[in-house]
A and B are shown apart, each in its own frame.
Chain A
Amino acid sequence: MTPARHTPLSKLVIDGDLELVPVDAATCRELVHQARNHALTAVAGRGIGDLEGAFQIAYDGCRKVCLALALAYGVRAKGDTGHHAATFNAAAAALAGNLTARDLVDDATDLRFIRAGSEYRAEKITAAAVNDAIDILNGLLAALPPVMDARLTSSPTP
């Protein structure tokens, strides 16, 4: 585990990593819908041997489902730098009481190492990395939307 990334939501807001936004249930559900499509597209990309494309779309699906959860809690990443990390941190913070789901978010966060290797060091994406990214995305799609829906129906403001 990496405790440094498990910062409470309120502290992430106070520290300026996140900002408060109005909760919009339709936007949250649209992001989950996009993420589900990304999971299918990633599988299709893997099927034709486009490992880089499959990984990138699976990673983006992970980011979107985490963003959907963060938005359901009325927060989003602030500013232009490090917004992916802040989005994952927000989702992890929202899941403080659900360690299995939070572990999945941590796994999604760690996909940044593969992404950085591919984008900045021209490292090839392996089939194992793609399989892992798709598994993580499917895990997030199973675990996070119920938490998001519960939040949207019970307490729509942060």
Chain B
Amino acid sequence: MYSPAPALLPVFRSDAQARILAALLLDPSREVSIADLAGLAGIRPPNALREVNRLIGAGLLKDRRVGRARLVSADVSSPYHQPLVAILARSFGPVLVIRDELAAVAGIDKALIFGSWAARFLGHGGPQPRDVDVLVIGEPPGRELRRANARMEDALHIPVQITTIGAAEWVAADSEFLRDVQAKPSITLDLTGSSDRQ
């Protein structure tokens, strides 16, 4: 399964490599099996294994065996760890940070990232996004959502524009804005688990 360079920041070897690094370096406490990393990166397990071995060889990741499973995590002792975290947080961090922040806010039925950032993340070429557009569907408490919004911007150093609508409004989709969001690339955030659907 071919994984091209990521449109969001084409300095990584492949989109899969960038997603593996983002999944592990942005949460250094996380240990993930090769099979789960393959799922996260959207590639087959043998390709994920090759990618992981390359990154372990470079000292960016480390692994340990638990029974028959091989668990992979970030090697925080690498001199490249912190600089890479900064780059990954800015480029690939929004999905993780926004998902985690919104998961902690009550009253959200569904949330998705749309607009130019989502398009780049999903591999559609174009200019670098200057902000991240988020649609929240539900009735979250205003102050709680705004506080989460502020934390997202503090963490990501990029404006995060949240639009909130009701569930009925989303289903009816009777505005040009909502029809546009539903027609164009978006990332639905899984607010209950750890995977995100596109």
Contact = CB atoms under 8 A, between A and B. Distances in A.
> Binding site of A, secondary structure by majority: helix, strand, loop or mixed?
helix
B146 A123 contact: no
Contacts of A129: 142
Interface string A1-39: 111110000000000000000000000000000000000
A132 B143 contact: yes
Instruction: Kindly state the interface size class of chain A when it binds its partner.
Output: 10 to 19
A110 B149 contact: yes
B163 A2 contact: no
A105 interface: no
B143 A5 contact: no
Interface residues of B, number: 11
Interface in B141-163: 142-143, 146-147, 149-151, 154, 161-163
B150 A110 contact: yes
Contacts of A1: 147
A114 to B, nearest CB: 7
A137 B154 CA distance: 24
Contacts of A111: 146
A123 B143 CA distance: 17
A107 interface: yes
B161 A121 contact: yes
